[in-house]
Structure 1
Amino acid sequence: MGVSTSRPEAGIAVVTVDFPPVNAVPVRGWYELAEAVRAAGADPAVRCAVLAAAGRGFNAGVDLKEIQRGPGHRALIGANQGCAAAFAAVYDCEVPVVAAVRGFCLGGGIGLVGNADAVVAAEDATFGLPELDRGALGAATHLARLVPQHLLRTLYYTSRTVTAWELHRHGSVWRVVPPDELLPAALELAREIAAKDGSLIRLAKAALNGIDPVDVRRGYRFEQGFTFEAALSGVADRHREAFVSRTSRPSGPSGPSGPSRKSATDHEEEP
C-alpha cells in the first residue's frame, strides 16, 4: 500500500498509487506521489513516466475521513498543499508523463490527469469533479485541459461525470482500451516516447510547458483560496460531514455510459 515505482523496461518508470479501497489519498500519500514523480523525472535513465493505480479505480481524491477526523483545519491545509505538490510534480516532471486511467477518476485524479502529457484510459473510466457536493472547490484548472469551457462549467456545476470515450472525442484521451489492456497500451505509448533522444525529449517537455497559455500552478492555488473561504464559513464542513455520514460503508462508483449524475465513493474531495 502506498506509492511505488517500477522500471518495466529501459527508459520507462511506472509510478503506481495504491491506497485501498478506492485510492482516496491521505495527506502523506500526495507527498509520496510528488516525490516519486520528481524522482522518476530526475533519473537520467528515464525518458517517459507512466502514472498508474492499483485497485478499484484510478483516484477518488483526498481522504475525506482524514480531514473530518483532524482538529481544526490542519488536515485540510495538508491536503491542499499535498495536492498542489503532486499536481505540480506531474506538470513539472522533466520527462513526459502518461496517465493510465481505469475506473473512477475524481477530484484529485483530475488534477493529476489534467497535468499529464498524455492519457490512455480503460473503457470503464469516468472523469469528474464532485467538488460542490463535498463542500470544496478546485481542479477546474485541470479539467479545463480535458474538456471545452462550456462542458467544463456544466460538469463543475452539476458534479456529473463523463466517460473515457467522450474525452476521446474531445481529443484529450489518446486511446480507450479494455481494462486488461490498459497498462500494455500505456507502455506502448511510453515506449514510443522513450525511443526519442533523452536530452531532446526533456527539452521538448520544457518547451511545451513554456508556451502553455495557462499557469496551472497559479490557477489551482487561486481556486484553493475559495476552498479555504468555504471552510472558514462552515459550509464545507457541513457538506463533508454529511457525505462521510452517508457513506459509512465502502462502496465504489459504477457509472453508465455517458454522463452520470453522481460518482460517489466512500471518501472523496479535492480541496
Structure 2
Amino acid sequence: MGITVRGGPIAEVVVDVPPVNALPVQGWFDLASAVLTAGRDPATRVVVLRAEGRGFNAGVDIKEMQRTAGFEALVGANRGCYAAFAAVYECEVPVLAAVHGHCLGGGIGLVGNADIVVASEDAYFGLPEVDRGALGAATHLARLVPQHLMRAMVYTCRNVTAAELHHHGSVLEVVPRDKLRDAAFEVAGRIADKDPYVLRRAKESLNGIDPVDVRRSYRFEQGLTYELNLMGAGDRHRDAFVGRPPEIVPTTDKPEEAG
C-alpha cells in the first residue's frame, strides 16, 4: 500500500491508500517524488498514473488535518498538493491518468494536469471544495470542462461522469472497469513506440505554449483557501465533514484552531 512505482518504457505509478485514496500530507509529497523520478529515468517514455481500491483519488485527508494542532497539516496539504500537481505537469514524459470510481478534489488537480485521461465507465469527477470550506483545483478543472460548466461545478459541487468528459474531449476513452488498465497501457504503448528524445521535447513544447501558468493560477486559489481558514470557515466545514463539533486544540505555546 501507499505509492508504488514500476519502471520500464511504460512506467506505472500506483496509489493505494485505503479506504478511499484520500492522501495524507506525506502521501502527496511521495506521489510527487514518484512521478518526477519516473520521468527522469532515461528508460521511461510515458508514465501511467492509476490507483487501486474504491476510486482514483478523494483529495486530502481531512481527518488528518482536523486532528493536527495548529496549521501544520493544512499548510502541508497545500504544499503537498502543489508539489504533486506540478510533478504531473512537469514530468519529463507524457503522463496518462487511468481513472476509476471517484476523482474528487486533489484528484482533479492530478488529472487536470495529466497529458491524457482514460477512464472507466464508473468514474466521476468533482470539486467538493466549497462544501469543505476550501478552494482550489478550479485551475485544473478548467482544463477538463468548458468555463461555465466549471463554474457551475465549483459553486454547486456537482459531479460529472466520464461519459460527459469524453463528450467534451478531455477523456480520451471510456471503458469497462475491468478493462481500464489494459486500455491505459494500449494508449501508453502507442506513445512508447515513439522516439524518446522527440517525446520529451514534445512535452516541453506543449507546456511551453500553455496559455495558463497552472502553478501560479493554483497558488492564487490556495491563497484564498488560507483566507477561509483565517476567518474560521475552513474549520467549520471540515468539522462538519468529519462529524464532530468544532473545538479548540492547544499547541505547545498557545490555543489555536486546528487546521
**d(CA) in 2 for partners of 1:74 and 1:5?**
28
Which secondary structure does the structure 1 equivalent of 2:243 belong to? helix
**d(CA) in 2 for partners of 1:198 and 1:130?**
38
1:18-39 CA-partner distances (Å, limit 9, x unpaired): 1100000000000000000000
Structural mapping, 1:158-173, within 5 Å:
158-173=156-171
Task: Mark the runs of 5 or more structure 2 residues left unpaired by the alignment.
Answer: 245-258
Equivalent pairs, count: 245
**d(CA) in 2 for partners of 1:66 and 1:243?**
12
**d(CA) in 2 for partners of 1:44 and 1:99?**
20
Q: Residue 62 of structure 1: CA displacement? A: 0.3
Q: Residue 148 of structure 1: CA displacement? A: 0.2
1:75-104 CA-partner distances (Å, limit 9, x unpaired): 000000000000000000000000000000
TM-score normalised per structure 1: 0.89
Q: Residue 211 of structure 1: CA displacement? A: 0.1
1:163-193 CA-partner distances (Å, limit 9, x unpaired): 0000000000000000000000000010000
Answer with 1 or 2: which has the greater Rg: 2
| Pick aligned residue for 1:11 from 5, 9, 30 | 9
Which secondary structure does the structure 2 equivalent of 1:200 belong to? helix
- Two-structure CA RMSD over aligned residues (Å): 1.0
Task: Mark the runs of 5 or more structure 1 residues left unpaired by the alignment.
Answer: 247-270
**d(CA) in 2 for partners of 1:15 and 1:34?**
10
TM-score normalised per structure 2: 0.94
Q: Give the aligned residue type for 1:217.
A: R
Q: Give the aligned residue type for 2:102.
A: F
Q: Residue 145 of structure 1: CA displacement? A: 0.1
| Pick aligned residue for 1:181 from 171, 179, 182 | 179
Partner residue of 1:46? 44
**d(CA) in 2 for partners of 1:188 and 1:215?**
30
**d(CA) in 2 for partners of 1:235 and 1:76?**
13
Which secondary structure does the structure 2 equivalent of 1:56 belong to? coil
Kindly indicate whether residue 35 of structure 2 is the aligned counterpart of residue 37 of structure 1: yes
Which secondary structure does the structure 1 equivalent of 2:125 belong to? strand
Q: Give the aligned residue type for 1:208.
A: L
Partner residue of 1:94? 92
Kindly indicate whether residue 213 of structure 2 is the aligned counterpart of residue 210 of structure 1: no
Runs of 4+ with >4 A deviation: none
With CA pairs under 8 Å and 6+ residues apart, which has the higher RCO, 1 or 2? 1
1:123-169 CA-partner distances (Å, limit 9, x unpaired): 00000000000110000000000000000000100001000000000
Which secondary structure does the structure 2 equivalent of 1:236 belong to? helix
Partner residue of 1:198? 196
Structural mapping, 1:250-265, within 5 Å:
none
Q: Tell me the percent identity.
A: 69
Partner residue of 2:110? 112
1:91-124 CA-partner distances (Å, limit 9, x unpaired): 0000000000000000000000000000000000
Q: Residue 234 of structure 1: CA displacement? A: 0.4
Partner residue of 2:251? none
| Pick aligned residue for 1:135 from 133, 136, 139 | 133
**d(CA) in 2 for partners of 1:97 and 1:29?**
19
Q: Give the aligned residue type for 2:94.
A: P
Q: Residue 72 of structure 1: CA displacement? A: 1.1
Which secondary structure does the structure 1 equivalent of 2:212 belong to? coil
Q: Give the aligned residue type for 1:178.
A: P
**d(CA) in 1 for partners of 2:109 and 2:233?**
23
